[in-house]
C-alpha cells in the first residue's frame, strides 16, 4: 500500500520513519515533508493548508491511506474534504477537531461529560476577564481560545501580569484570531502527563503515557514552547490509572461529542494534570503530540498502519498495540531565540556522529539543505534527538550523548529532560 503523511516537522518525520518500516507499505509520501523526511519518504511540495491540493495528490498518486500530522489542516476540514472524495484518511473531521481548535468548546464538552477539569470562564472583554481572574486567585492561567502552536498558554502570578496578558491577547492581537477570545482558568498543581489514544469514535486504543517539557529553560522555567523534549513511559501513570483515564476521561468525552452529533475519529490526546484529587484535563489535542510522538514511535513494536486502519474502519476494539519494554527519550534542539524570533541558516555539524550513537535516532523538525548540500537550521525547533534504553536513565544518557555530537551557532536545548521520571524511579 501507499501511505501519505501530511506535515513537515519532527512528529511527521517520526511517523514516516515508522510507517516506512511496515512490510505492507510499498511507499511513503509526505506533503510537504522536509529534507530530513526525504530520507524515508518521497516529499511533495504542497502546503498543509492547501486542502484541495493535498486531496488531488492523494488521488493522483493513489494513496491508500493518509495520516494527518499537524492541527491546522484538521481544523481547516481536510478530513471532510478527503472523505467527500472517497479518500481514506485518519484524523477527526472539522467539527471534531474543534476539541483542540477552541479551548472554550473543549471546556464545555468536559463539563457536559462530567470530566474533571479546572474552573474556568471565557471572555471577549478585558474587565470581566480580570474580575474572574481575581475571583479565582493567583496564580491564574490565561489561554488563547484558538490554535497558537502550543504557545498560547500563560501562567500569571499576579493581577498585573493577568492584565497585561489579557490585554495583549484581546486588544494587542498577540495571537491574532486565536486570541480574540480568552479562557481564564484556575491554576492546578501536580504533575503533567500526556495521554494519547487512538479511537474510531466509540472504542479507544490507549497508547503508552508520555511526558512533555513545555517551557524553554531547565527546571520548567521560561515561556511555553511547542515542546522541548519528551519521554515514555511516564511512571506517574500505571496500568490501573491508564484504565481509569480511558473509562472516566476519554470514553465520556467521546460519548458526549457523539451525543452532540460529532463523531471523533483519530488521535485523542489528553493533557492531564495529576492533582491530589486525581487526574484533571488541562487540554485536548486532536493529533499526535510533538515531541511525544517521537519516543512513542521509537517504542511501538506493532504496525502503526494496522492500528490506524482499524480506527478508520470502525474496528478499534479488535486491535491492541505492542510496546517495547525499553524507555525512549527525545531532546529537542532549538535555534537561537526560540520561542521568540529565531535565527535560520546556521550550518549543522555532527549529524552522522549522532546517528551512530547506540540506540539513537535524529528526527528533523526544522532543517534544510543549502546550495552546498550542508544541513542548516530552518525552524525554531530544529531536531528531536531520540534514544531508547533498557531504563529511563539509559535512554536519557544515550540521547544526550547523541546531542553532544551536534553543533551549530546558538544551539539551545534543555539539560534536564526526563528529570521527573528519574526522580520517580531512581535510575
Tell me the Cα Rg of the chain.
21
pLDDT digits (tens, 9 = 90+) for 171-181: 988 899 889 99
pLDDT digits (tens, 9 = 90+) for 298-307: 999 999 999 9
pTM for the whole structure: 0.95
Q: Which set of grid coordinates corresponds to residue 157?
A: 502570578
pLDDT digits (tens, 9 = 90+) for 133-142: 999 999 999 9
DSSP 216: E
- Reduced to 3 states (helix: H, G, I; strand: E, B; else coil), residue 194 is strand
Q: Which set of grid coordinates corresponds to residue 292?
A: 511525544
- Give the neighbor-by-neighbor strand order of the sheet with 327-334: 211-212, 229-232, 327-334, 381-389, 360-364
pLDDT digits (tens, 9 = 90+) for 93-136: 999 999 999 999 999 999 999 999 999 999 999 999 999 999 99
Q: Grade residue 150 by pLDDT with cuts at 50, 70 and 90.
A: confident
Task: Please state the rounded mean pLDDT for residues 274-282.
Answer: 96
Residue whose entry in the numeric block shows the C-alpha cell 492500528:
307
- pLDDT of 271 higher than 90: yes
- pLDDT of 214 higher than 70: yes
Query: Contact 228/339 with Cβ under 8 angstroms?
Result: no
> Do β-strands 182-186 and 204-206 pair in parallel, antiparallel, or remain unpaired?
unpaired
Rounded to whole angstroms, how far apart are CA atoms 288 and 21? 19
pLDDT digits (tens, 9 = 90+) for 352-374: 999 999 999 999 999 999 999 99
Alpha-carbon distance values, 282 to 121, 220, 268 (Å): 14, 17, 13
Rounded to whole angstroms, how far apart are CA atoms 145 and 153? 9
Q: Can you give the pLDDT at residue 364?
A: 98
Rounded to whole angstroms, how far apart are CA atoms 266 and 105? 18
Least confident residue range of 149-158, 200-209, 254-263 = 149-158
Asked if omega into 168 is within 30° of 0 (cis), the reply is no
- In sequence order, what are the residues at sequence separation of 6 or more whose Cβ sits closer than 8 angstroms to the Cβ of residue 296? 14, 196, 207, 208, 210, 232, 288, 328
Residue whose entry in the numeric block shows the C-alpha cell 552546498:
372
Which domains does the chain possess? 2-91 (3.40.50.20), 125-180 (3.30.1490.20), 191-318 (3.30.470.20), 327-425 (3.90.600.10)
- pLDDT of 425 higher than 80: no
- In sequence order, what are the residues at sequence separation of 6 or more whose Cβ sits closer than 8 angstroms to the Cβ of residue 79? 68, 89, 91, 92, 93, 94, 97, 266
Could you count the other beta carbons within 10 Å of the beta carbon of residue 419? 17
Q: Can you give the pLDDT at residue 148?
A: 85
Amino acid at each position: 500500500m501507499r501511505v501519505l503523511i501530511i506535515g513537515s516537522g519532527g512528529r511527521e518525520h517520526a511517523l514516516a520513519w515508522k510507517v516506512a518500516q511496515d512490510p505492507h507499505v510499498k511507499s511513503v509520501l509526505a506533503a510537504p515533508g522536509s529534507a530530513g523526511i526525504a530520507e524515508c519518504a518521497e516529499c511533495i511540495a504542497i502546503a498543509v493548508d492547501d486542502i484541495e491540493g493535498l486531496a488531488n495528490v492523494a488521488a493522483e498518486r493513489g494513496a491508500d491511506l493518509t495520516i494527518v500530522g499537524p492541527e491546522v489542516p484538521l481544523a481547516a476540514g481536510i478530513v471532510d474534504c478527503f472523505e467527500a472524495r472517497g479518500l481514506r484518511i485518519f484524523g477527526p473531521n472539522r467539527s471534531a477537531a474543534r476539541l483542540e481548535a477552541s479551548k472554550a468548546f473543549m471546556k464545555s464538552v468536559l463539563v457536559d461529560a462530567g470530566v474533571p477539569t479546572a474552573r474556568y470562564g471565557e471572555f471577549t472583554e478585558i474587565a470581566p476577564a480580570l474580575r474572574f481572574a481575581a475571583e479565582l486567585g493567583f496564580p491564574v492561567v490565561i489561554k488563547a481560545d484558538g490554535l497558537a502552536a502550543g504557545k498560547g498558554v500563560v501562567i500569571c502570578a499576579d493581577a498585573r501580569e493577568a492584565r497585561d496578558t489579557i490585554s495583549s491577547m484581546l486588544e494587542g492581537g498577540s495571537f491574532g484570531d486565536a486570541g480574540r477570545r480568552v479562557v481564564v482558568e484556575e491554576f492546578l498543581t501536580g504533575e503533567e502527563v500526556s495521554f494519547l489514544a487512538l479511537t474510531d469514535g466509540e472504542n479507544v486504543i490507549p497508547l503508552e503515557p508520555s511526558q512533555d517539557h513545555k517551557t524553554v529553560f531547565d527546571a520548567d522555567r521560561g515561556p511555553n514552547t511547542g515542546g522541548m523534549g519528551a519521554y515514555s513511559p511516564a511512571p506517574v501513570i500505571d496500568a490501573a490509572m491508564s484504565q481509569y483515564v480511558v473509562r472516566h476521561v476519554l470514553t465520556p468525552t467521546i460519548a458526549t461529542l457523539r451525543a452532540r452529533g460529532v463523531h471523533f475519529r483519530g488521535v485523542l490526546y489528553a493533557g492531564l494534570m495529576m492533582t491530589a484529587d486525581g487526574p484533571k484535563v488541562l487540554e485536548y489535542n486532536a493529533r499526535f503530540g510533538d515531541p511525544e510522538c517521537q519516543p512513542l514511535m521509537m517504542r511501538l513494536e506493532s504496525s502503526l498502519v494496522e492500528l490506524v486502519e482499524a480506527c478508520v474502519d470502525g474496528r478499534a476494539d479488535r486491535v491492541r498495540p505492542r510496546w517495547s519494554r525499553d524507555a525512549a527519550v527525545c531532546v529537542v534542539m532549538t535555534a537561537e531565540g526560540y520561542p521568540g524570533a529565531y535565527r535560520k541558516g546556521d550550518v549543522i555539524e555532527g549529524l552522522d556522529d549522532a546517528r551512530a550513537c547506540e540506540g539513537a535516532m535524529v528526527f528533523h523538525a526544522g532543517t534544510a539543505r543549502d546550495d552546498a548540500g550542508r544541513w542548516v537550521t530552518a525552524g525554531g525547533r530544529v531536531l528531536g534527538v531520540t534514544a531508547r534504553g533498557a531504563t529511563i536513565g539509559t535512554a536519557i544518557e544515550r540521547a544526550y550523548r547523541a546531542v553532544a555530537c551536534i553543533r551549530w551557532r546558538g544551539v539551545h536545548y534543555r539539560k534536564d529532560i526526563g528529570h521527573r521520571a528519574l526522580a520517580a524511579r531512581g535510575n
